[in-house]
Structure 1
Amino acid sequence: MIERALDLDAVQAFVRIAELGSFTRAAEASRTTQSAVSLKLKRLEERLGCRLVERTPRRVELSAQGLTFLAHARKLLEIQEHAFADFTAVRQRLIIGISDHVAGPELPALIARMNAQDPQMVIEIRIGTTGDLLQSYDRRELDAVIVRFDAGRNDGEVLTEEKMGWFAAPDWTHPAGEPLPIATMAEPCGVRIMALQLLDEAGVPWRESFVGGGVTAVSAAVMAGLGVSALARRMLPFGAVEVGPKLGLPALPRLPVLLHSRVKDDRSRDALTALAAAFRSAVQS
């Protein structure tokens, strides 16, 4: 009789490649090497007798057979998780803080990726400023935080570096001779401090036109025509335009996004690794 059993580790490697669009990210999420992921995929393709992934110079894409198999693969992994859940009553909790300047439109997909990694884990997400989250982390109220770079720390893992820019509504104009109206978050927001310091160093007169409690509020003020704001491109409201070069504003540096974590158990580490890989893939895609 022909052996028909599938290696579920190989199936999971295939799903991660499909979801993250990268062998490198899939390896990172699995805490293994790219060559190991490639070998698992090769064995799975040999078992199924077809090519699941088409490798291109820029990224990987699923073949027609791969697209068909993906739904079956996810179902297989879901059945496996349900089987384990029937015999494990403990629901572990992982509390993660994410900076308001980092929690972008891809957050639902990131949470879904963590849930797919471990459906039995309770994931608690708290949104706040970098300073507040780091203080909570230091008080051991959070297991991990993903925040913008903080000048007073060097204990985090760099997930990515994001380009910042000066953005305004498409129909906004700067009245000649008046200070530049700035929409920003309240202190002690690190992006605010950096942006205003650069304006001062460049000799650009400015005034506060709006102070918001989060990026969503600041973005709304920008699109309402209240002024200019320093934002990451990933966080832009639809229709916002970059005005820095036109107004001669100082260039903004690329700002690192860091993961600070103290988790040591394998389940939590696996969930965070999956989150980090998914975040890098989303930001750089």
Structure 2
Amino acid sequence: MTALDVEAVHAFVAIADMKSFTRAAEALGTTQGAISVKLKRLEDRIGARLIERTPRQVRLSAQGAVFLDRARDFLAAHEAAVAALSAAPRRFVVGIAAHVAGPELPPLLAQLHAHDPGLRIEVRLDNSRSLLDAFERGEIDAAIVRREDDRRDGEVLAPEHFGWFGAPSFEHRQGEPLRLAALSPSCGVRDIATQALDAAGIPWTEVFLGGGSSAVTAAVSAGLAIAVFSERVAPPGTIEVGDRLGLPRLASSEIVLHSTLTDAKSRAALRTIAAVYREHRAPAP
């Protein structure tokens, strides 16, 4: 009977999810060399190659693809058994700024759950300023936000680049104020847009304000207004219209992670958050 090593299976699943030995090592709080040793130990134990690695790509082998779901089941059963020994459920509240909650959000939540099924994860979406205020009041355990003003603390996860996005059909009539959509008056990304327009002497008006991200997306997608979005989370079907409309270039920012958690399991969850964001925000080769 083949006995599986939990840490080796953890290493395999992390590599499969991150498609990177480096990111997997970061998520598990270890080194790339240690991850490679654990994977080799697992492959030797089951007698099959699970990961195919080239200088440009890390991917599952055919046997690895078959084994992956079973590996997840194995880890979930192990974590459930360990969690059953704990009398009190643990809760982890993470705030994610609406402008940075992009395609990495579903894999982020999946990774957190796979990492620790006994952890009850709650997500709060809001603008960066509101989340930073909530973090400082102790209402949330961690915040993933756009860097605000000159605040220099927090762990940098990735750069954040902004653009003016609108529907291909959007038209701006000369002599009329530029029509903008924004999340709320306290949204820092709104400030980036309005300050850039004011500095360039371009008149503007807000036609959608404070309706939430879905309302802003709907207004922009329908061609009623334009909005500033991170290039990674612009609504599907919209395009960058800044050059066509002669709009000013927008300054880049950074996505940062704030947390004061110190216990081992929570710090491990934070490493998973950081690794997922870095993986999904990494520049394409």
Q: Distance in 1 between matches of 2:249 and 2:43?
A: 48
Of 101, 106, 125, the match for 1:103: 101
Alignment partner of 2:148: what SS? coil
Q: Distance in 1 between matches of 2:236 and 2:126?
A: 23
Could you tell me how far 1:8 is from its partner in structure 2? 1.3
Runs (5+) with no aligned partner, structure 1:
none
On the 8 A contact 2:185/2:210 being kept in 1, the answer is no
Query: AA paired with 2:134?
Result: S
Listed one character per residue, the Cα deviations across residues 66-102 of structure 1 (whole Å, up to 9, x for unaligned) are 1111122112112211221332222111121111112
Could you tell me how far 1:213 is from its partner in structure 2? 3.8
Query: AA paired with 2:77?
Result: I
Could you tell me how far 1:105 is from its partner in structure 2? 4.0
Q: Distance in 2 between matches of 1:176 and 1:221?
A: 20
Aligned residues: 283
- Structure 1 residue runs of 4+, over 6 Å off? none
On the 8 A contact 1:210/1:226 being kept in 2, the answer is no
Q: TM-score, normalised by structure 1?
A: 0.93
Query: AA paired with 1:121?
Result: L
Q: Distance in 1 between matches of 2:14 and 2:40?
A: 14
Of 229, 232, 247, the match for 1:231: 229
Q: 1:204 matched to which residue of 2?
A: 202
Q: Distance in 1 between matches of 2:81 and 2:157?
A: 33
Comparing 257-266 and 245-254, the one that deviates more: 245-254
Q: Distance in 2 between matches of 1:283 and 1:64?
A: 28
On the 8 A contact 1:95/1:125 being kept in 2, the answer is yes
Query: AA paired with 1:45?
Result: E
Seq. identity, %: 52
Q: 2:127 matched to which residue of 1?
A: 129
Q: 2:175 matched to which residue of 1?
A: 177
Q: Distance in 2 between matches of 1:228 and 1:71?
A: 43
Listed one character per residue, the Cα deviations across residues 46-71 of structure 1 (whole Å, up to 9, x for unaligned) are 22222211113333111111111112
Q: 1:158 matched to which residue of 2?
A: 156
On the 8 A contact 2:13/2:72 being kept in 1, the answer is yes
On the 8 A contact 2:159/2:252 being kept in 1, the answer is yes
Output the aligned Cα RMSD: 1.7
Q: Distance in 2 between matches of 1:118 and 1:144?
A: 16
